[in-house]
A and B are shown apart, each in its own frame.
Chain A
C-alpha cells in the first residue's frame, strides 16, 4: 500500500524539485592502485528505500563505508540534503543523521542490550563528578523503543550476544530510529538469516521507511530487495551497471540483471546437461565439478 502512494508521487517528481536526503554523484574510491569504486550515483529520499545490489566484490562495502563516513571518497560529490559534505569520521555522518547498521559489527556481544542501545550516545544526569548514566531511563527507553518497532524483548539486561541474528539487526535498526536518524544504511541485513527471520527484518526496514526515514538497503538478494525497494542501483566490479525505479523494472528483469544478463545465459549453457559428456567426467573427478 505504501508502494502505490510512493510510486504514484514518484512518477510526477522524478527528476523533481524535491532534494534527496543523500545524493551521490559519480563517486569514486581507490585503495592504492585498486579502483574499488568509480562512477556510482544514487539518491535517497525520505520515506523511500534505495536498494544497492551487487555480487561479492562489486563494491558494496566500499560504498557503504563512504556513506557512513568511515572512508572519504576520492572523486565525485556526496551531498546531504543538497549540501556537499566530506565526512572525516562516522561521528560526523551520525551528526548529520546518517546511521549505519553493519552486518557483523553492529553490537558489542558481551554488553547488555540497553548498554548497546545507547552506546556512544548515553544519556546522563547529575553534574560534575556526580554526572552519571541515567540507568533507569536507559532501561525503560530501550524497552519502549524496541516495543514501538514491534520487538518485544524478554529482558533488556541480557547480553546482546544471546539474541538471534535477526533480533540483533532489529535492535540496531530501532536504535537508529530512536536517535532521530534521517537516513538508515543497512549492510546486508538479511545475509545470514533464514527465510522467516529475513521476513521479520524486512518488516522492520519497512517500519523505518514508514517512520519517514530514507533507507539504503545493501543486499545481494534481488527477491528481498524487490519486496521493499523503491529504487535499485546495481553494482558490478566497482562500477554502476544499472539504476532503476521500481515501476521501470520487474523482479525477473532485476534478478536477471543482477546475475549478469549475458553471463547467466552462458552459465545456463555451460550447466545444461549433455548426458554423454558429463557423466564420466563427474565420476572421474567429482571434486573439480563440485
Chain B
C-alpha cells in the first residue's frame, strides 16, 4: 500500500516527476549559460576593472551590436538555413540610407525608409532564390555576400568619390533618427546604449514567436524535417523567405545604428561579422542542422562575445588574442551543447 499510494497521486506512474535540474538540462540555452558564467568568473579574476559598473555598459553595448543580428540568424538556423550575407547587409543598409538622403537632399527619415525597403528586398531575394532553385543556402548567400561587398565598395566610390559616405550630421531629421537608433543615457556611472533596448526587445519578440505562435512551430518544423512539414501542410517555402526577411530587417536596424552613431559609413565594413552572428547562435545552442535552438540562447552567446572582446581589453592583453578565444569558446560550447543534448535525449 505504501508503495501504491504515491504512484496513484501522480498522473502517470511510469513518469518520474522531472526534477528542476532535469528540466534545465533539456533547455538548449543551458550550455551557453554555463559558458557565460565561466567566462564571467574568468575575467572577474584576471581583469580588475571588469567588475566595475562602468564596464557593464561597455560589455552590454558590444554584446548588443552582435546580439541584434544573432537573434534572426538563430531563427534562420533553427529553420535550417544560413545567411552569409548578413554581415555586409548591415553596411549596405547604412550606405543606402546615408547616400539616398545626401544625394536627394531629403529628410534623413526618407533615406531610412528607402533603406528598409531595399534591405528587405535583399532578404526576399535570398529567400526566394533558396526556395526556387533549391540550392544550398550556403552557396546562395555566399553569392549575395560577394555581390553586396562589391556593390558597397563600387557604388560608394562611384557616387561619393571616396570609400566612405559624406557626413549627414547636419541634415534634417538626423537628431530624431539618432535618438531612435544611436542614443544613450546614463544611470549612475553606467552608460547604456539604445541598442541594448533593441536587442532585449528583439529577443523577447523572437522568443514569443518561436514558442507561442504557429509561425514558431513552422520554423522548428521547416528546419527539423522540411518534407514532413510540407506533407502536413506547413508553408515551408514561405516560412524560409520570411526568416530571410527577418534577418534583413535586423540588418536594417544594425545598419541605421552604424550610420547614426558615426554619421559617416565606411563602405568596406561588415565583412566577417556574419560569422560572429552564427557563432553567437551556435554557442547559444542552435543546432547546425536546424530544428533546435532558442533566441535567448543567441543572446547569451552574444553576451559571451561581448564579455570576451571587452574582457581582453580590461585584462590589458593584446586584443590580437580575441579571435583565438572566440574560436576556443565556440568549440567548447558546441561540445558542451552536444553533451547536454545527449543527456537530455537519453532520459527513459
Contact = CB atoms under 8 A, between A and B. Distances in A.
A154 interface: yes
A256 interface: no
Nearest to A69: B231
B212 A110 contact: no
B325 to A, nearest CB: 30
Interface centre among B213, B214, B228, B232 (most CB of A within 10 A): B232
A131 interface: yes
A159 B225 CA distance: 13
Interface stretch (A26-34, A40-48, A114-122, A230-238): A114-122
B278 interface: no
Given A90-B233, A91-B233, A94-B233, A106 B228 contact: yes
Nearest to B212: A132
A90 B231 contact: yes
A115 B217 contact: yes
A102 interface: yes
Interface residues of B, number: 26
B229 A154 contact: no
A90 B230 CA distance: 8
A24 to B, nearest CB: 20
B57 interface: no
B297 to A, nearest CB: 15
Given A70-B231, A105-B227, A162-B345, A110 B214 contact: no
B220 A115 contact: yes
Interface string A77-120: 00000000000001100100000101001111111000100111
B292 A120 contact: no
Contacts of B248: none
Contacts of A68: 231
B68 interface: no
7 contacts: A70-B231, A105-B231, A107-B225, A110-B291, A111-B291, A119-B234, A120-B221
Interface of B: 12, 14-15, 208, 212-214, 216-217, 220-221, 224-225, 227-234, 287, 291-292, 345, 347
Interface of A: 68, 70, 90-91, 94, 100, 102, 105-111, 115, 118-122, 124, 131-133, 135, 152, 154-155, 158-159, 161-162
**What are the 5 closest A-B residue pairs judged by CB atoms, nearest first?**
A108-B224, A120-B233, A120-B232, A105-B228, A91-B233
